[in-house]
Chains A and B, each alone.
Chain A
Amino acid sequence: MDAINPVILIASLIVASTPILLAALGELVCEKAGVLNLGVEGMMIFGAICGFAIAVETESPLLGFLCAALAGAALSMIFGVLTQFLLSNQVATGLALTLFGLGFSALVGQGYVGLKAPATPAVPFGPLADLPVVGPILFSHDAMVYASIALVAAVWYVLAHTRAGLILRAVGESHDAAHALGYKVVRIRLLAIAFGGALAGLGGAYLSLVRVPQWTEGMTAGAGWIALAIVVFASWRPWRIVLGAYLFGGISVLQLNLQAAGIKIPVELLSMSPYVITIVVLVLMSRDRTRTALNAPAALGRSFHASS
């Protein structure tokens, strides 16, 4: 049996991780604004079908991704209106959003089962892609992979170094204080929710257009939940989202590679390994208590009402 080729493994784990990376990044921004949206799975799958449908109809993956982002944002606005204006409980509303999204996307997608999506091409890096090692790892992907990393950088920069980021974090830390300072808490949170929805939609479309690629009911198969977990795992830091998503995606791919390579480890252990290892790494990281606690937005999950 051949050993596993680490270069190809890394290249394929990047593809496997991008959907959860995108969704987790969106949720991070949402949570930084103090909103816990458990509806990621529902928004992802809605993005998956909308992106797929548009890409099939227009033959343009780019338009597909664009519409997936819009669709995710649109669906997230149900959550936004309910939690921000009608002050409903965020945990329950998010779960309801997942339920609704799964059902609604299946309805929308009834005519798209079994179709093929137009291919999303790799970015033409020319000779760079032929370089040994770095070529396959860095220069052989489609545009969304690079876009996802660029988005991480942008989110990191905005959160850490701009006034907008400061305001967003202030809203997430203490909405009352932010309100007292004259910031429009509800408006800011709605924007954050929409951003989260858009990225979840993109992540879903990455599944249906690149990673799988096809449309079937329930095809996200829990990816949205993993994205939620990755946010906690990353202790609300953008770059750690990359780490978390690649770690999780990497182990998921690795366990299949180990099987394919004929390594004799019990399959049951391999199939639960991504989850167990995530827990173990989280425990190791969270031993440093104070730092983790500092990053969790203090007002996470709380409803805000101006006159309260």
Chain B
Amino acid sequence: MNFRLALKGAALAVATGLAGIASAQDEPLKVGFIYCCPIGDLGWSYQHDVGRQAIEEEYGDRVETIFQESVSEGADAERVMTQMALSGADIIFATSFGFMDATNNVAARFPDVQFEHATGYKREHPNVTTYNSRFYEGRAVVGHIAGKMTETNKIGYIASYPIPEVIMGINSFFLHAQKVNPDVELTVVWVYSWFDPAKEADAARAMIEQGVDVITQHTDSTAPQAAAEEAIAAGTRVFTFGQASDMLPYAPAPRIASIIDNWNPYYIKRVGQLLDGTYESMESWGGMPEGEVVIGEITDEVPADIKAEAEAMIAAITAGEYHPFTGPIMKQDGSVFLAEGEVATDEQLLTMNFYIEGIDGDIPN
């Protein structure tokens, strides 16, 4: 492979200007990915890698993808991206929030390489794009299902870290549960980790012991599903939702639906744009309309009418007719967040650092 790259370099050097464009067309477009975690995590990084494979499938010989898993933040991320750029990558997707500054630093050094940073907000150079998904749209749907499905009126949320992304998800989930079930109470357990199967399992068990009968999570492992399955075996009625990936092995129960991070359409679109020359750096925040947030199969454990309501909500969000954060919405302290009919701006969502009315407890810090 190196030999071929050396040839590529030599060919370009000899034929500068003349055949430069032609040879660039002969070479496959090189697409790099860096992941924060092992792709075997079956969660966040796994779904990005599914997207990488979708690119290969879509464009075949026209692209070549490379990736590196388990990259630490900071100097390591910067080095890996630089080495990828040196190896001839044309576009690099940095798929974790923690890679934000490293992405911008490397982008400054390689103006001809495109950089795309997932879930961040810094675009310091013209060749940096940021992209994210509107996961709160999925949270709204499962919140609705949760509100309808709970019998104990206690629903639970296994949360990772108190950051706007997570808080936004909690609010969206609770808001829609509360809409269909005013008596519902939310229990939040912070595990301070994105991925710690044992802790996630313990958190799920702790909630089940407290009478929580519908659990969702903002952590990546299937441990909570397994804990719920165990509780079902012991005669307790508990439901969960798949997170990041479909987690279908736990269907039809406890897993009654899932929020899937589907990066495929976005990655295919962006690489396609780079191939046909229409690529421009941007700020992308797609969701259900773009197919980036997908609700996995709603199982038959969910009564047909609830399922129909959920599907109607999905359709409304996909059609752009419904925004999950539409007023009136009050903050936890009773002050107004959104007035009647008012829709939250992206800015308001991305900086959300408060619970909405009805949630008990405080956000850490």
Which residues of A pack against B, CB within 8 Å? Answer: 1-2, 4-5, 8-9, 12, 16, 106, 109-110, 113-116, 119, 207, 211-214, 216-219, 221, 223, 252-253, 256-257, 259-262, 264, 266-268, 271
Tell me if B40 and A256 are in contact (CB < 8 A).
no
A12-B209, A114-B222, A267-B192 known; A260 vs B198 contact (CB < 8 Å): no
Tell me if A214 and B198 are in contact (CB < 8 A).
no
Q: Which residues of B contact A113 (CB under 8 A)?
A: 40, 42, 46
Distance A264 CA – B249 CA, assembled complex (angstroms): 36
Query: Which one of A2, A9, A16, A217 contacts B40 once the chains associate, using CB atoms below 8 Å?
Result: A217
Tell me if A211 and B198 are in contact (CB < 8 A).
yes
Tell me if B191 and A116 are in contact (CB < 8 A).
no
Contact with A along B34-78 (1 / 0, CB 8 A): 000010111000100000000000000000000000000000000
B167 to chain A, nearest CB (A): 14
Interface flag for B284 (CB, 8 Å): no
Distance A248 CA – B211 CA, assembled complex (angstroms): 25
Interface flag for B14 (CB, 8 Å): no
Which residues of B pack against A, CB within 8 Å? Answer: 38, 40-42, 46, 156, 187-193, 195-199, 201-203, 205-207, 209-212, 221-223, 226, 230, 233, 245, 249-250, 360-362, 364-365
Tell me if B40 and A257 are in contact (CB < 8 A).
no
Q: Which residues of A contact B360 (CB under 8 A)?
A: 262
Q: Which residues of B contact A218 (CB under 8 A)?
A: 38
Tell me if B212 and A221 are in contact (CB < 8 A).
no
Q: Which residues of A contact B201 (CB under 8 A)?
A: 211-212
B45 to chain A, nearest CB (A): 10
Distance A267 CA – B158 CA, assembled complex (angstroms): 13
Tell me if A116 and B249 are in contact (CB < 8 A).
yes
Tell me if A5 and B361 are in contact (CB < 8 A).
no
A100 to chain B, nearest CB (A): 16
Q: Which residues of A contact B198 (CB under 8 A)?
A: 16, 207, 211-212, 219, 221, 223
A221-B197, A260-B187, A264-B361 known; A216 vs B221 contact (CB < 8 Å): yes
Tell me if A217 and B202 are in contact (CB < 8 A).
no
Closest A residue by C-beta to B41: A216
List the 10 closest pairs (A to B, CB-CB), nearest first: A260-B206, A217-B38, A267-B364, A257-B206, A256-B206, A212-B197, A259-B189, A113-B40, A217-B40, A267-B190
A114-B42, A115-B249 known; A214 vs B221 contact (CB < 8 Å): yes
Q: Which of A109, A116, A214, A221 is most buried by chain B, counting CB atoms within 10 A of its CB?
A: A214
Tell me if B202 and A252 are in contact (CB < 8 A).
yes
Q: Which residues of A contact B190 (CB under 8 A)?
A: 259, 267, 271
Tell me if A221 and B41 are in contact (CB < 8 A).
no
13 contacts between A and B (CB under 8 A): A4-B209, A114-B245, A212-B223, A212-B226, A214-B226, A216-B40, A219-B198, A256-B202, A260-B156, A260-B209, A262-B361, A266-B364, A268-B364
A109-B40, A259-B189, A267-B192 known; A213 vs B209 contact (CB < 8 Å): no
Closest A residue by C-beta to B226: A213
Q: Which residues of B contact A207 (CB under 8 A)?
A: 197-198
Tell me if A256 and B361 are in contact (CB < 8 A).
no
Q: Which residues of A contact B197 (CB under 8 A)?
A: 207, 212, 214, 216, 219, 221
Distance A261 CA – B193 CA, assembled complex (angstroms): 20
Query: Which one of B191, B209, B223, B230 contacts A257 once the chains associate, using CB atoms below 8 Å?
Result: B209
A16-B198, A262-B187 known; A217 vs B210 contact (CB < 8 Å): no
A48 to chain B, nearest CB (A): 10
Distance A212 CA – B212 CA, assembled complex (angstroms): 19
Tell me if A271 and B212 are in contact (CB < 8 A).
no
A260-B209, A267-B190 known; A110 vs B202 contact (CB < 8 Å): no
Q: Which residues of B contact A213 (CB under 8 A)?
A: 226
